[in-house]
């Protein structure tokens, strides 16, 4: 990351919010990925740390208005930091700038390790995202609640969740939660209900859903969505 980008996402004098509880270890099975995760958690426990169920990466995108090519978008995505423990999360999160201080248009992405915040990524290509639009004055609080729910593996069908995005725009901010399988109606609707519950969304807030293949067809993240309450 160059110095200009780093100034945008870091802030001095970070807040000291309460720490979330660590998520339980993944259930044992023959999966190589989960074996690697268990080994990682064991090392962190031995070191006296509190391992999370998944390792996560924060990414940052400063969009260029009017430029829509996928190459330029992918080139603009910058990896900020990765973490896999409660302690590691708070060290990096408390040094990130608050959403209200970020320029528009900007995206902050929080994704599980190994998943890039791109529609075409293997983990995302068959999935979609739930979208919630917020007034700029309140988006920071809802983003923090969403981050804590994701990191703490508190959302229903958590293994189906790929990550979350905060999109800073001129007139509003947009939160989105990406999942792996847009065709699994039960998982998609359960995720919607879980998001509403953890964010304590007022009844007046509407949620929209859009599959990533639809985003690829119309080259848009937030137009032509499926509107649900």
Domains by residue range for the chain, with CATH: 3-9+28-228 (3.30.760.10)
Cis ω for the linkage preceding 89 (within 30 of 0): no
* Burial (0-12, 13-18, 19+ Cβ within 10 Å), 61: buried
Closest Cα partner for 128 from 201, 197, 178, 62? 178
Question: What pLDDT score does 228 carry?
Answer: 59
Question: What pLDDT score does 74 carry?
Answer: 75
Question: What pLDDT score does 14 carry?
Answer: 41
Torsion of CA 207, 200, 101, 5, to 10 degrees: -70
Q: Are strands 106-112 and 161-168 parallel, antiparallel or unpaired?
A: antiparallel
Cβ neighbours of 86 (radius 10 Å): 20
Unique residue bearing structure tokens 């900020």: 80
Question: What pLDDT score does 204 carry?
Answer: 83
Beta bridge partners of 111: 57, 163
CA distances (Å), 42 to each of 30, 31, 150, 183, 209, in order?
17, 17, 21, 35, 37
Unique residue bearing structure tokens 């608050």: 98
Question: What pLDDT score does 115 carry?
Answer: 96
pTM: 0.80
List pLDDT tens digits, range 130-185: 999 999 989 999 999 999 999 999 999 999 999 999 999 989 999 999 999 999 99
Question: What pLDDT score does 158 carry?
Answer: 93
Q: Are strands 128-134 and 161-168 parallel, antiparallel or unpaired?
A: unpaired
Structure tokens at 116: 């890039």
Cβ density class 94-105: b for 16+ within 10 Å, e for less: eebbebeebeee
Q: How far apart are CA 176 and CA 159, in angstroms?
A: 17
Q: Tell me which H or E stretch contains 224.
A: none
pLDDT in tens, the chain (229 residues): 444 444 444 443 444 444 444 444 434 444 677 888 888 889 988 888 899 999 999 999 987 666 555 556 777 899 999 999 999 999 999 999 888 889 889 999 999 999 999 999 999 999 999 999 999 989 999 999 999 999 999 999 999 999 999 999 989 999 999 999 999 999 999 999 999 999 999 888 889 999 999 998 888 887 778 765 5
Beta bridge partners of 140: none
Query: What letter would DSSP give residue 96?
Result: B
Beta bridge partners of 56: 83, 112
Structure tokens at 29: 């099975």
Structure tokens at 146: 């969403």
Question: What pLDDT score does 62 carry?
Answer: 85
Beta bridge partners of 96: 10
């Amino acid at each position: 990351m160059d110095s200009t980008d780093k100034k945008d996402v870091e802030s001095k004098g970070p807040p000291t919010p309460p720490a979330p509880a660590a998520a339980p270890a993944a259930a044992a099975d023959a999966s190589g990925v989960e074996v690697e995760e268990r080994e990682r958690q064991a090392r962190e426990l031995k070191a006296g740390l509190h391992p999370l169920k998944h390792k996560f990466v924060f990414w940052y995108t400063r969009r260029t208005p009017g430029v829509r090519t996928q190459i330029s978008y992918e080139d603009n995505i910058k990896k900020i930091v990765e973490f896999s423990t409660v302690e590691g999360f708070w060290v990096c999160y408390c040094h990130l700038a608050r959403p209200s201080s970020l320029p528009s248009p900007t995206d902050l992405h929080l994704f599980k390790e190994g998943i890039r915040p791109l529609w075409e990524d293997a983990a995302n290509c068959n999935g979609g995202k739930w979208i919630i639009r917020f007034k700029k004055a309140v988006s920071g609080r809802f983003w923090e609640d969403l981050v804590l729910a994701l990191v703490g593996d508190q959302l229903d069908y958590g293994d189906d969740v790929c990550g979350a995005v905060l999109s800073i725009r001129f007139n509003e901010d947009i939160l989105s939660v990406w999942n792996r399988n847009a065709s699994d109606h039960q998982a998609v609707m359960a995720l919607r209900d879980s998001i509403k519950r953890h964010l304590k969304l007022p009844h007046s807030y509407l949620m929209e859903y859009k599959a990533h293949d639809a985003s690829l067809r119309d080259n848009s993240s937030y137009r032509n969505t499926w509107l649900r309450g």
